């Protein structure tokens, strides 16, 4: 287990940028801050995004420069990275105690290069960074930041028009880790995901976490040889194995068992989370493994994770007029598989869009088990409500269509669950004053 007090001269931390780069960076940050201030005055949001875009345009090396001189812990994967980042940041912050100001994180979930740069620019003196990282940015993160720890959660089809074939992303991770060699990060990896396992296979050190995964449709084929993977009965839960090559599910260091996490020592802990769902126990297991490896005491890590309630608005309960709504984000079939069982209200509101941030291809609707909503009433809303309605018709689910989000929420004098893709979810947060 690491020592949180060790100096910045340890492996993985790059020296600060040169003086000319620092001057250019300072000027770019000033311009970005002015743009962010203007955005807030205009009522267009926090300004974090425009700050990052201006900053990285004026100082193209800002992403790399702002990461230099810090101990970096990065989190990536298709689903759960925002919540896991919040859990990990809270655990590290609790471990730092009175020195919590040493930590910076991109808490709003802006995880592309300009979003990361925007967050880092506001905490130049923080020497520890816990960074949510888009799957496409992982290779650059490994190259430019030399993260100390990198948490790899899962791979799933998401935004098909943007990410295309997910194995290409996994291959990029694998190559970046191979190039980094012994100077590369310690990987905290989901052993239950075949593509994550293959992607992490070139890392110098991997800590494996056995999660409680319910979605296996995106891990049917071996990423190494293309063979159809088989499920092998084992104690606790089935394990995956490739009959065509040596790739198989690795033995885990940390294991999720129901609502508990089993540590490498055999000790069983029960994280007292304030975020719902078995999938968040898995996210917490990955965050806990990273925190303990970083040197956070167990008690502090668990106490820190308990403080996380609605990361970037996920699982937030808010009011719209007389309607109380709990907001759930689901961006792809794997996310819907986890979110639908949490939605217990009748009616339940489902909000769908298909712009760039959601992914323009909505064919994934046919991979979601909406049949489980049979017997309840569904309100379809958002710009692509008609597409969802067609899918629900085939599923035999009673529904109505109300494209306008506010009208769909109505004046219900009751509590409802709302599951939304990314764009309508952000619109709901704005309507509720949560962003």
What pLDDT digit, counting tens, does each position of 107-155 carry?
A: 888 899 999 999 999 999 999 999 999 999 999 999 998 999 999 999 9
- pLDDT over threshold 80, residue 2: no
Instruction: Find out whether 111 and 36 touch, Cβ atoms under 8 Å.
Output: no
Alpha-carbon separation of residue 360 from 159, 235, 353, 383, 424 (angstroms): 7, 41, 8, 12, 14
Other residues' Cβ atoms within 10 Å of the Cβ of residue 432: 16
Q: Range(s) for CATH 3.90.190.20 in the chain?
A: 316-431
Pairing of strands 149-152, 128-132: unpaired
Q: Write out the two tokens for 288.
A: 């806990």
Which DSSP helix (H) or strand (E) runs through 188?
strand 186-190
Instruction: Find out whether 392 and 370 touch, Cβ atoms under 8 Å.
Output: yes
Q: Range(s) for CATH 3.40.1190.10 in the chain?
A: 61-311
DSSP bridge partners of 73: 130, 149
- pLDDT over threshold 50, residue 31: yes
Residue 340: alpha-carbon gap to chain centroid: 18
| Nearest by Cα to 395 from 418, 373, 428 | 373
Per-residue model confidence (pLDDT) at position 1: 44
Instruction: Give the CA diameter of the chain.
Output: 66
Specify the range with the lowest mean pLDDT, choosing from 14-18, 276-280, 358-362.
Answer: 14-18
Residue 286 in marked binding region = no
Q: Write out the two tokens for 284.
A: 């917490």
Q: What is the CA radius of gyration of the chain?
A: 22
292 Cβ contact list (under 8 Å, min separation 6): 1, 263, 298, 301
Residue where the block lists tokens 């201030």 = 37
Q: What is the DSSP secondary structure assignment for residue 97, as one 8-state letter? A: G
Residue 245 in marked binding region = yes
Instruction: Find out whether 349 and 373 touch, Cβ atoms under 8 Å.
Output: no
Q: Which residues are catalytic?
A: 361
- pLDDT over threshold 60, residue 104: yes
| Nearest by Cα to 136 from 207, 83, 51, 78 | 78
51 Cβ contact list (under 8 Å, min separation 6): 32, 33, 35, 36, 118, 121
At 15, the pLDDT band (50, 70, 90 cuts) reads: low
Residue 225 in marked binding region = yes
Per-residue model confidence (pLDDT) at position 44: 78
Q: Write out the two tokens for 292.
A: 């303990």
What superfamily does domain 316-431 belong to in CATH? Mur ligase, C-terminal domain (3.90.190.20)
Q: How far apart are CA 131 and CA 142, in angstroms?
A: 12
Q: What is the DSSP secondary structure assignment for residue 206, as one 8-state letter? A: E
Residue 192 in marked binding region = no
Q: How far apart are CA 92 and CA 69, in angstroms?
A: 18
Average pLDDT over residues 231-255: 92
Q: What is the average pLDDT value for the chain, to the nearest integer?
A: 91
Q: How far apart are CA 73 and CA 86, in angstroms?
A: 12
Q: How far apart are CA 87 and CA 263, in angstroms?
A: 17
Alpha-carbon separation of residue 89 from 130, 253, 307, 352 (angstroms): 6, 21, 11, 30
Determine whether domain 61-311 maps to CATH 3.40.50.1000: no
């Amino acid at each position: 287990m690491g020592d949180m007090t060790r100096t910045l001269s340890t492996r993985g931390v790059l020296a600060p940028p040169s003086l000319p780069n620092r001057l250019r960076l300072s000027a770019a940050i000033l311009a970005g801050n002015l743009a962010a201030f203007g955005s807030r005055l205009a009522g267009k949001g926090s300004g974090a995004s425009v700050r990052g875009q201006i900053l990285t345009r004026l100082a193209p090396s800002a992403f790399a420069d702002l990461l230099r001189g810090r101990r970096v812990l990065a989190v990536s994967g298709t689903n759960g990275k925002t919540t896991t980042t919040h859990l990990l940041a809270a655990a590290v912050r609790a471990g730092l105690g009175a020195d919590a100001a040493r930590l910076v994180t991109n808490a709003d979930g802006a995880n592309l290069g300009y979003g990361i740069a925007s967050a880092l620019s506001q905490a130049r003196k923080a020497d520890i960074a816990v960074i949510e990282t888009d799957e496409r940015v992982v290779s650059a993160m490994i190259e430019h930041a030399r993260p100390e720890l990198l948490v790899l959660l899962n791979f799933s089809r998401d935004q098909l028009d943007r990410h295309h074939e997910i194995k290409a992303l996994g291959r990029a991770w694998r190559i970046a880790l191979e190039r980094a060699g012994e100077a590369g990060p310690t990987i905290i990896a989901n052993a239950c995901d075949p593509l994550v396992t293959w992607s992490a296979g070139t890392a110098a050190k991997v800590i494996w976490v056995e999660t409680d995964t319910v979605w296996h449709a995106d891990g049917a084929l071996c990423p190494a040889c293309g063979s159809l993977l088989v499920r092998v009965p084992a104690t606790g839960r089935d394990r995956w194995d490739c009959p065509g090559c040596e790739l198989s599910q690795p033995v885990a260091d940390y294991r999720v068992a129901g609502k508990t996490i089993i540590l490498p020592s055999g000790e069983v802990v029960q994280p007292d989370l304030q975020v719902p769902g078995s999938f968040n126990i898995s996210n917490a297991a990955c965050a806990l493994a990273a925190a303990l490896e970083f040197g956070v005491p167990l008690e502090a890590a668990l106490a820190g994770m308990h403080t996380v309630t609605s990361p970037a608005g996920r699982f937030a309960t808010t009011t719209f007029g007389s309607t109380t709504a709990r907001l759930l984000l689901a961006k792809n079939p794997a996310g819907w598989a986890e979110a639908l069982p949490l939605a217990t209200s009748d009616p339940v509101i489902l909000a769908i869009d298909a712009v760039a941030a959601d992914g323009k291809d909505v064919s994934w609707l046919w991979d979601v088990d909406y049949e489980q909503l049979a017997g309840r009433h569904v309100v379809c809303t958002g710009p692509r409500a008609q597409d969802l309605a067609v899918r629900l018709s085939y599923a035999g689910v009673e529904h109505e269509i109300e494209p306008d989000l506010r009208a769909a929420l109505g004046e219900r004098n009751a509590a409802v669950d709302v599951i939304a893709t990314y764009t309508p979810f952000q619109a709901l947060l704005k309507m509720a004053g949560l962003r």
